[in-house]
Chains A and B, each alone.
Chain A
Amino acid sequence: MSDNLLEIKDLHIEFRTFDGVVKAINGMSFNVPRGKTIGLVGETGAGKTTTALAVMGLVPSPPGVITSGQILFEGEDVLKMSNLKLRNIRGDKISMIFQNPMTSLNPVYRIGKQMSDVIMMHQNVDRKTAEQRAGDMLEIVGIRRERLNNYPHEFSGGMKQRVCIAMGLSCNPQLLIADEPTTALDVTIQAQILELMKGLKEKYNTSTIFITHALGVVAEIADYVVVAYAGMVIEQGSLKEIFTDPKHPYTKGLFACLPDIDSESSGALKVIPGAMPDPMQLPVGCKFCKRCPEAMKICYMKEPEDIEIAEEHKVRCHLYQMGSKKQ
């Protein structure tokens, strides 16, 4: 068996709407090694969440259509699985934590019931054992087990997110997809959740896809970084490679436009001009060419391919094509 728990290969997803075809994912490919955390970064519309939903088999259809590609989970294609099989995998082997903890819990059930439902469904145990297990999970994320009897509204935002994490981990999933799990939280609470997730990763050896737009959070938690733009991966590599030696002009731009908390300067920030291309009318060549400070003629005509720049570092940009490695 390969070292990769999950392999996404040349995934294409489009949404066929009345206004036209929205090309959300255009050849997304990356791997998730066992026991590692992938930081999937990108701006709104980069296709981060759609990719995650595809892995879970949750792309709403219609209007969503997966036109081509493979998502191999333990060597088996998720896209070809029956609904029944998918249902058994979801929540058990693959589970997901959503961005907004306020809306991902059901307000009318006690969290003990919600948590034990998941456990009963997948572990074939009775309610009592399941509740017991749910209580254990709550304690792991730092919430007293008596609170199983509370309703979601009785928890603060940070605690609700911890409940979601506990629920996501309750069946010992092999793959955890965390979609912006700390974006809606305050920084001190975010720090708590990140510490918690780091600890759990060591304890359970879970592979994680951590979706976020905050590079600071990625630096904390990820082993590998995947940078997405307009539905494809434009650069990927180990945390060290991407953070110390970014190659793609977009990745460089992302780092440059962050205000530096350690700097006294308040001069103008570097910007990436313009905005993400309209997914209904994607440019022919490189999707970033219109905003790229280093764009060449070829960038407008031909889409670049993945180039391996170093071990564990791939970039999709014409600047590095054909051995013309520009430093």
Chain B
Amino acid sequence: MKEKLIEVKSLKKYFKVPSGELHAVDDVSFDIYKGETVGLVGESGCGKSTIGRTILRLIPHTAGEVIYKGENILAYSDEKMRTLRREMQMIFQDPYSSLDSRKTIGQIIAEPLLINKTVPKNQINEVVLDLLSKGGVSRKLYNSYPHELDGGRRQRVGIIRALALNPSFIVCDEPVSSLDVSIQAQILNLLQELQRNMNLTYLFISHDLSVVRHISDRIIVMYLGEIVESCNANELFKNPLHPYTKALLSAVPIAKYNQQRQRIILKGDVPSPINPKPGCRFAPRCWKAKDICFNECPCLKEYSDGHQARCHFVGEADDMPAT
């Protein structure tokens, strides 16, 4: 039996906005096991980043629990949380804004070590240099400033900083989205290598389905603050159950010549998450929607081993929309 590292239970995050309540994350529950990578996919505004940030308590939650090592960390005092942060780190999307532009690379990586006093002061330099080589950054850049580095190297520094305190869990929030494909492959390989060597657990947030499939063991698909489907990575691509997942998979452009796949073009845009209407949140864009979908919210049900989906009509025939 695999060991649970993190249990997210009925997590909710609402933001108050002038026109009501924005349901960014609505009653989301999932587990993360030790040593695995959980991919969190969805389009902009579906709440993926908010989940990552709420788990790490970078923003306060509205309701729910996050159980880490048997304790609800959302109830921790700030001070206790600060100590715990050593074990839980984050890699940000934009390597251009997540590094302090007035500090050198050496100072940036040394900062968490200095604050947490995990390493005696006279050894910090050594540790930083060691980390640099682990992350594939030349020692020569120790005294450089972030603006002197290209995007790929900057992202490496962001990763190294997250690793400085030997964490066990890392939230990767779109770590390769702003990088070119040739650099993206380098960073993905680095993340996988570090995971093996340091026994890390990742929550990998991304909108790029091929990247998520490549790196994840399990995938959670989100739509408007809710989980619509979750299962093993390969299963999701072979046998998607929810109409939104099907549409999402069919919309990914494939870099192969003349590869025809039946495409489901969704009508309209993602509706506003402010004061959401009752019923299934995907119903207004769904080609399968019937009356029940607009009135009754489907529950997340398990259909086969570890494969959950939130739809009234899972498994029904007539799977493709009439176009």
**Whole-angstrom distance between the alpha carbons of A215 and B237 in the complex?**
20
Which residues from B are CB-within-8-Å of A214? 253, 255
**Given A159-B269, A191-B265, A213-B180, is A259 in contact with B210 using a C-beta cutoff of 8 Å?**
yes
Interface: B301 (CB within 8 A): no
Q: Which of B13-21, B124-132, B185-193 contacts A (4 or more CB under 8 A)?
A: B185-193
Which of B189, B210, B213, B253 is close to A194, meaning CB atoms less than 8 Å apart?
A: B253
Q: Are B150 and A275 in contact (CB under 8 A)?
A: yes
**Given A271-B185, A275-B150, A275-B183, is A218 in contact with B255 using a C-beta cutoff of 8 Å?**
yes
How far apart are A150's CB and chain B's nearest CB, in angstroms? 14
**Whole-angstrom distance between the alpha carbons of A254 and B185 in the complex?**
10
**Whole-angstrom distance between the alpha carbons of A261 and B216 in the complex?**
12
Which residues from A are CB-within-8-Å of B192? 266, 268
8 Å CB contacts to B: which residues of A143-195?
A: 156-159, 186-192, 194-195
The contact string, 1 if C-beta is below 8 Å from chain A, for chain B 113-129, is 00000000000000000
8 Å CB contacts to B: which residues of A223-260?
A: 239-240, 243-244, 253-255, 257-260
Interface: B234 (CB within 8 A): yes
Q: Are B181 and A258 in contact (CB under 8 A)?
A: yes
Which residues from A are CB-within-8-Å of B252? 187, 216, 261
**Whole-angstrom distance between the alpha carbons of A186 and B174 in the complex?**
14
Which of A188, A254, A269 is close to B214, meaning CB atoms less than 8 Å apart?
A: A269
The contact string, 1 if C-beta is below 8 Å from chain A, for chain B 248-266, is 1011111111110001011
**Whole-angstrom distance between the alpha carbons of A238 and B251 in the complex?**
24
CB-CB nearest in chain B for A218? B255
Interface: B247 (CB within 8 A): yes
CB-CB nearest in chain B for A266? B214
Q: Are B251 and A190 in contact (CB under 8 A)?
A: yes
Interface: B279 (CB within 8 A): no
**Whole-angstrom distance between the alpha carbons of A218 and B258 in the complex?**
11
Query: Residue among B183, B185, B251, B265 with the most chain A CB within 10 A?
Result: B185
CB-CB nearest in chain A for B212? A259
Which of A158, A213, A270, A275 is close to B185, meaning CB atoms less than 8 Å apart?
A: A270
Q: Are B254 and A261 in contact (CB under 8 A)?
A: yes
The contact string, 1 if C-beta is below 8 Å from chain B, for chain A 121-153, is 000000000000000000000000000000000
The contact string, 1 if C-beta is below 8 Å from chain A, for chain B 179-204, is 01111111011001100000000000
Interface: B211 (CB within 8 A): yes
Interface: A43 (CB within 8 A): yes
Which of A243, A266, A276 is close to B256, meaning CB atoms less than 8 Å apart?
A: A243
Query: Residue among A43, A269, A270 with the most chain B CB within 10 A?
Result: A269
How far apart are A48's CB and chain B's nearest CB, in angstroms? 12
How far apart are B39's CB and chain A's nearest CB, in angstroms? 11
**Whole-angstrom distance between the alpha carbons of A319 and B267 in the complex?**
48
Which residues from A are CB-within-8-Å of B180? 43-44, 213, 276
Interface: B215 (CB within 8 A): yes
How far apart are A207's CB and chain B's nearest CB, in angstroms? 21
Which of B150, B182, B251 is close to A271, meaning CB atoms less than 8 Å apart?
A: B182
CB-CB nearest in chain A for B43? A186
Interface: B298 (CB within 8 A): no
Which residues from B are CB-within-8-Å of A192? 265-266
Interface: A53 (CB within 8 A): no
Interface: A217 (CB within 8 A): yes
Q: Are B184 and A257 in contact (CB under 8 A)?
A: yes
Which of A189, A219, A257, A273 is close to B257, meaning CB atoms less than 8 Å apart?
A: A219
Q: Are B257 and A188 in contact (CB under 8 A)?
A: no
Q: Are B209 and A269 in contact (CB under 8 A)?
A: no
Interface: B152 (CB within 8 A): yes
Q: Are B253 and A260 in contact (CB under 8 A)?
A: no
**Given A159-B269, A187-B43, A272-B182, is A260 in contact with B210 using a C-beta cutoff of 8 Å?**
yes
Query: Residue among A220, A258, A268 with the most chain B CB within 10 A?
Result: A258
The contact string, 1 if C-beta is below 8 Å from chain A, for chain B 210-254, is 110111000000000000000001100100000000011011111
Interface: A264 (CB within 8 A): yes
Query: Residue among A157, A189, A195 with the most chain B CB within 10 A?
Result: A189
Interface: B112 (CB within 8 A): no
Q: Are A261 and B237 in contact (CB under 8 A)?
A: yes
How far apart are B156's CB and chain A's nearest CB, in angstroms? 11
Q: List 29 A-B contacts (CB under 8 A).
A: A43-B181, A43-B182, A156-B270, A159-B269, A186-B43, A188-B43, A188-B248, A190-B251, A191-B265, A192-B265, A192-B266, A195-B265, A214-B255, A216-B252, A216-B255, A218-B255, A219-B259, A243-B255, A243-B257, A257-B184, A258-B185, A259-B213, A261-B209, A266-B214, A271-B185, A273-B186, A275-B153, A276-B150, A276-B180
Rank and list the top 6 A-B pairs by shortest CB-CB distance, nearest first: A216-B253, A259-B214, A243-B257, A257-B185, A215-B255, A186-B43
